[in-house]
Chains A and B, each alone.
Chain A
Amino acid sequence: MSTAEDLGYDLIIGEIPAGARVLDLGCGSGLLLQRLKNEKNVTGYGVELSEQSVSQCLERGVYCYQGDIDEGLSDYKDNSFDYVILSQTLQSTKRPDFVIHEVLRIGKNTIISFPNFAYYVTRVQLLCRGTMPKNRLLPYEWYETPNIHLITVKDFRVFCERRRYPVKKEMHFSVTDSGGIVVVRTLANIRAQYGFFVLDGEGVTGDSPRA
């Protein structure tokens, strides 16, 4: 069962091999890292903006750094982590392009998951009502949303092609009413609630092209 927080955690955990070194950017209360530690014996680190989240991470025995997610990424050497996770975080960053480059540089693999703005319910809401969509994926009013860079599955694919970031796997998914996860294999850009990409970052080194 997925809660508001653990969207697609099972998919992420399924991707990550045992004993990996993982960095979770925007790790919230540390639930994913705790599960990864328990289920996959990973060495995990988190980054979160709020003091309360870091305290929650400590309660779970998760190592967390309080700061902006892009803060201090430059400190890490190339390929410092086996996996870097950006779960429902990318859309709230100020410079997604810069963040993506950095996570690809410091991670051998990167898992990026975000609410898909081209999901048909979202499209219909915008088309028919003429107001900013507000639904389970995007539960905020326009004036209070942390989602400042909304993206679609297609946008992200195009972005990766242009930047020549190798996409290893796409596993876009939706959450059913009962909280289960359904992977959407066809027409994902319109049918999937969430985009889910695994990128190969091993060959990405050096500075971001626009940084």
Chain B
Amino acid sequence: MRKKEPIDNPSVGVVSTEYFTFAGPAEPFELLCGRTIGPVTIAYETYGALNAEKSNAILIAHALSGNAHAAGYHSHEDRYPGWWDEYIGPGKAFDTDRYFVICSNVIGGCDGSTGPSSIDPATGKPYGLSFPMVTIRDMVNAQWHLVRHLGIDSLLAVAGGSMGGMQALKWSILYPGMVRSVIAIATSASVSAQAIAFNEVGRQAIFKDPAWNKGDYYGMQAPDSGLSLARMIGHITYMSETLMHEKFGRRLQESAVSDFDFNREFLVETYLHHQGFKFVNRFDANSYIYITKAIDFFDLAKDHGGMISAFEKVSSNFLVVSFTSDWLYPSTQVKEIVKALRVNGKNVVYTDIETDKGHDAFLVKNRALEKNIANFLKSHADNNT
């Protein structure tokens, strides 16, 4: 596949990931679980320029399998852009001609930020399962260190979909004075039992892979079959039934073998295998376990004495978006966030975007979402409150 021409897809161009390390021995990073780690490295990328008033900074928070590389290309030969390139760039929803956009890899991740695959300075070996449990709050606190390191006192917006939306919500609660607006997409104040169930099946797939070896597999055969199975299960939940039907139907993968043969695959099977295969090359199984657990444990009502009181002190303005065909983070759950904000008299826009793309709708081109984000940001950037 040829890289799209800049004319029909304006891009931030070639970018590189940067690293910020904090929490030295004198002041290690304290996690919600009570344990401390240090040093902590955060991988991040920035696009656009910070204005003189430092008032145009937007923090993008990624979902389960994302990373710091949200937009642009890592080299001229790079075939694929960053994960949210559709929405970040010159003239796009997060317009890099106007805003300074920051995206970092979460703590616990495996794309440059400190996580279970990082070396534990105490042992000289990868942390593996000795890495402390991380929560959404810990991810946000680590991002706070990065934002401060970049010299930013106040963010124009914190935005994200799915787990990224959880971080955005948490930002508004933990640092009310720092977050002027929040864009929370296809997210929830706590996931459903169904979502936990799917995450658990994914984790079990990894645990049951003999190569997993209780998380101690670095430098050896990684639990690829477990991780790819987890990813396949995940992908089923990210798509709607309609999308699957339209994309694959009951069509079979072209092959020369006989009609009835276990080797003969439906297109949907080929797709899932491909997704699983692709994933193991770029993701760490232990990170998958830690991050899905962080999602499962995320519970704003429980952590803040109820949904209403969770948002009582927030001062951000909110854009909350759900997708009609998202059954992993259904509109009814998304509306719970909006309800709590409304009761507290907060400024909130809520829209339920009609799409058959399921939970992952925010990752693909969606005209309504682009427009809504752009307009929401514009009115808050202009107000400059």
Residues on A facing B (Cβ under 8 Å): 21, 45, 51, 54-55, 57-59, 61, 63-67, 72, 75-77, 80
B323-342 toward A: CB 8 Å interface, digit per residue (1/0)? 00000000000010011001
Instruction: Chain A residues near B197: list those with CB within 8 A.
Output: none
B113-155 toward A: CB 8 Å interface, digit per residue (1/0)? 0000000000000000000000000000000000000000000
In the complex, the chain A residue whose C-beta lies closest to that of B338 is A65
Q: Cβ of A58 and Cβ of B372 under 8 Å apart?
A: yes
**Given A57-B349, A63-B349: A51 in contact with B342 (beta carbons within 8 A):** no
Q: Does B364 contact A (CB under 8 A)?
A: no
**Given A59-B375, A61-B379: A54 in contact with B339 (beta carbons within 8 A):** no
Query: What would be 25 A-B contacts, judged by CB atoms less than 8 Å apart?
Result: A21-B345, A54-B349, A54-B351, A54-B372, A55-B351, A55-B368, A55-B371, A57-B349, A58-B372, A61-B375, A61-B379, A61-B382, A61-B383, A63-B317, A63-B347, A64-B350, A64-B351, A65-B338, A65-B342, A65-B348, A72-B335, A72-B338, A72-B339, A75-B339, A77-B343
Q: Cβ of A65 and Cβ of B375 under 8 Å apart?
A: no
Q: Does B352 contact A (CB under 8 A)?
A: yes
Complex Cα–Cα for A67 and B345 (A): 17
Contacts A58-B372, A72-B335, A75-B343 aside, 4 further interface pairs with beta carbons under 8 A come to A51-B351, A55-B351, A57-B349, A65-B342
Complex Cα–Cα for A66 and B371 (A): 16
- Chain B contact-residue range equals 20 to 34
Complex Cα–Cα for A51 and B345 (A): 22
> Count of A-B contacts with CB under 8 A?
60
**Given A65-B338, A72-B339: A55 in contact with B375 (beta carbons within 8 A):** yes
**Given A51-B368, A55-B368: A66 in contact with B351 (beta carbons within 8 A):** yes
Complex Cα–Cα for A72 and B350 (A): 12
Q: How far is the CB of B309 from chain A (nearest CB, A)?
A: 14
Instruction: Chain B residues near A57: list those with CB within 8 A.
Output: 349
Instruction: Chain B residues near A67: list those with CB within 8 A.
Output: 335, 350, 352
In the complex, the chain A residue whose C-beta lies closest to that of B377 is A58
Indicate which residue in B338, B345, B376 contacts A58 across the interface (CB closer than 8 Å): B376
A-B residue pairs, 5 tightest by C-beta:
A61-B379, A58-B375, A54-B351, A66-B351, A65-B350
Q: Does B354 contact A (CB under 8 A)?
A: yes
Complex Cα–Cα for A45 and B368 (A): 20
Complex Cα–Cα for A77 and B338 (A): 15
Of B317, B375, B383, chain A has the most CB atoms within 10 Å of the CB of: B375
Complex Cα–Cα for A59 and B319 (A): 13
Complex Cα–Cα for A67 and B375 (A): 20
